[in-house]
Structures are given as structure tokens and as C-alpha cells.
Amino acid sequence: MRYAVSEADHQWAARVWDKLAIKLKAECQRIGPIMPYISANGAYEDMAERNLVWWTNGFWGGILWQMYHATKDDVYKETAEQIEARLDQGFTDYMGLDHDLGFLWLHTAVADYRLTRNEQSRIRGLHAAGILAGRFQPAGEYIRAWNEGHEGIAIVDCLMNLPLLYWAADQRKDTGLKQIAMKHADMALQYVLRPDGSCNHLVKFDTETGEYLDNPGGQGYESGSSWTRGQSWAIYGMALSYRYTQKQEYLDAAKRSAHYFIANTAVNDYEVVIDFRSPEEPVYYDTTAAVCAACGLLELSEFVGEYEKGLYIKSAVRLLRKIDEKFCEWNPDLDSIVSHGSAKYHRESDREVPIIYGDYFFLEAILRLLNRDFLIW
């Protein structure tokens, strides 16, 4: 096994998998190839009808491909293929595309290609990677976040989109794509990640000179605070950059971010709030940060020595057990699994709600523990 867990933890993960299999089969049969975001009153709406290239629109496809890989049930494959085809219109519309092309096409086209060797899926993934590479800003050496009105902004989230460039670089034997990804990761080492392991969400550069200007407040509590999902992006994103480059600084950064996350989570009994540096009251949770961090910790554990593995694996399991214990909806007649996900500290509409990527990362983490996952990043 890749992850040395106790027999009790392995049996627990197997029981959770049994529940996931029942729940996700029912959801797949009920909702089909929609692109869900938030479940309201136990029902998903199709986010693609409002915004086809909304950044979360690939995660249901990612769930379906993980389920197909784990079960070989063709219903997941066929549904995922329909989502992938629907996303083609995003290339045509183009103007809505931003830095999150990895979240959209890694979980759909690239996942399809990795599992089926569908050449059209490979082309889709390469097309998305080319668009992402085109967002690289030579002045400042970063991939620009968002579009008009956000000039000069780079964000920690984009670390999770870099694997699209690493994959495309390997496919095309194009070192330029890999270098763009590494330039952005290097920028994050200098300006996004802090020495204590915490991180900024946003950083701003002069668009003409590339001079660093500021770290504006983002989706956490305020500028200089510690938005927990950003912390999880840092753990997982830097560990993934290390996977593809073997650059020691990325591994060291992932470890610093992991230690910071673990320390701040352990004192709260592994219940993750939206921001580690927000006021004690009111308490707002973000389970999506917990499950993403768990995946990042498991990824990180694959690159460290035996004396370090235990910390990361045990911490991941504790985060996941807390989710199962307190924040899961297992009724197969209701959409979504993981509750209390939060997109933004100061926005009530999507604070402490079920969000699709919470389900994705929870599934990925459980499959990792059972050695039934495949690398979607």
C-alpha cells in the first residue's frame, strides 16, 4: 500500500467507499451530465446553463472518471464523455476562460485521455494548455488570474492548474510549457507563500514593469490573513510541482505549508475554519479546505522519508474522519455529500454550503487510501 494506515483506518476508509459508491451511482443516474456547483435543498442545478466555463464545472467529470477507474462501470465513462463534449463550446466562446483551465480540462479531457487514450481528448487538453500558457505575463513572470478588472493579479489557486502545463509539456516535448509553469511556481515561492508556511491569496504586480505592489485581501478574512483553502492549494500545488520537476524548493514549500495547516487544524480538533487568522467568533467552516488539504498531505507523503510519512498520512486521515463524522449527507436521494463548504469568508450565499469540489477531493482522498485512485492532476 502507498499509505501505511492502521487496520482500523483502512476498514473505515473501505466503509466510506461503500457509502460513496451507493451515493454517487444514484447521483449519476439522477443528474447525468450536468455541471453542478452548489446543492440547494438537496438538489443540484446545472451551472453550465448560467456559465459554461465556471471554474468548478470540471469537478463532476472528475468524480465520474475516478468512479469509472475504480469500478469500471461504463455509466460513469459515458456520462463523463458527455460533460467533456459540452465543454467544447467553451473553446468557441473563449472570452469567459481564465486561469482555471486546469480545473476544467484536467478533470474531463485529460482524465479521459489518461484512461482511454482518446486522441480527441488529448487534443482538447493540449488546446486548453495552450490557452493557459498564453496568460503568462513576462513582466512579473506569473500566470494572470481572471480577466478584465483584475490586471496584475496572481493567485495561489493557480498552483493547482499548473499540472495541465506539465502534462502538455510532456505530451508535446515542449520545455517552454514546463518553464512557464515553473516560473509561476517560483513567483509563488517569493510572493505568495510566507516563511511561516501561511500564504497570501492574491498578489498584485505592476503590469508594465512586473514590480510587486501588494497582497490585497482575497476570499479569506482580510489582507495578511490565512485563507484555509488557499493553504490547501499551497500544500497540494507545491507537492504536484515537485512531482513534475523534482525541484527541492517546491517540496520544502509544500512541507512548510503542510506543517502550518496541521498545527492550526490540530488545535481545533481537525475541524477547518475558513481562515486561520479570522476572529474566533463567529465560527465559519470550510470543509473543502480540509478535504483538499488531505489530498495534498497524501500526495506529499509520497516524496518524504519514513519518519515524515506518518505525520502527513495520520493528519490526512484525521481530517477525513472528521468530515465523515460531522459533515456528510449519505441519503442517496439527495444531491451532494460534503456539507459546510465555503467559497468566501465575507459572502453568505456560498458560505457553509455543499460544493461539488468538496465531494471530489473527499472521493479522491478515500480512493488514495484504498489505492484505487488515478492521478488526475
Residue 190 placed within a domain: yes
2 is a domain residue:
no
- Which residues in 161-195 are b (16+ Cβ under 10 Å) and which e? bbbbbbbbbeeeebeebbebbbbbbbbbeebbbbe
Q: CATH number, domain at 26?
A: 1.50.10.10
The answer to whether position 233 is within a domain reads yes
The predicted-structure confidence for 345-366, as pLDDT tens digits, reads as follows 999 999 999 999 999 999 999 9
Q: If residue 48 lies in a helix (H) or strand (E), which one and from where to where?
A: none
What average pLDDT score do residues 208-229 get?
A: 97
pLDDT-derived band at 2 (thresholds 50, 70, 90) equals confident
Is 158 part of a structural domain of the chain? Answer: yes
Question: Is the residue at 375 inside a domain?
Answer: no
Does pLDDT of 307 surpass 90? no
Amino acid in position 359: D
- Show the domain range for 202: 7-369
Evaluate whether residue 143 is within a structural domain.
yes
Q: If you search the block for the grid coordinates 487544524, which residue do you land on? A: 265
**In the predicted structure, residue 306 carries a pLDDT above the cut 70:** yes
Instruction: Report residue 160 as a C-alpha cell.
Output: 493547482
Which among 371, 374, 370, 376 has a CA at the least distance from the CA of 357? 376
Q: Tell whether 207 is covered by a domain.
A: yes
For the segment 127-178, what is each residue's pLDDT rounded down to a tens digit? 999 999 999 999 999 999 999 999 999 999 999 999 999 999 999 999 999 9
pLDDT of residue 236: 98
Q: Which pLDDT belongs to residue 1?
A: 67
pLDDT 10s digits, 243-282: 999 999 999 999 999 999 999 999 999 999 999 999 999 9
pTM above 0.95? yes
Residue bearing cell 453568505: 348
Which residues are CB-neighbours of 41 under 8 A, at least 6 positions away? none
Task: Judge whether 110 and 121 are in contact, CB under 8 Å.
Answer: yes
Ramachandran angles phi, psi of 209, nearest 5°: -100, -20
C-alpha cell at position 144: 494572470
Looking at the 3D structure of the chain, how many domains does it have? 1
Tell me, what DSSP letter sits at residue 205? E
Flag whether 1 is in a domain: no
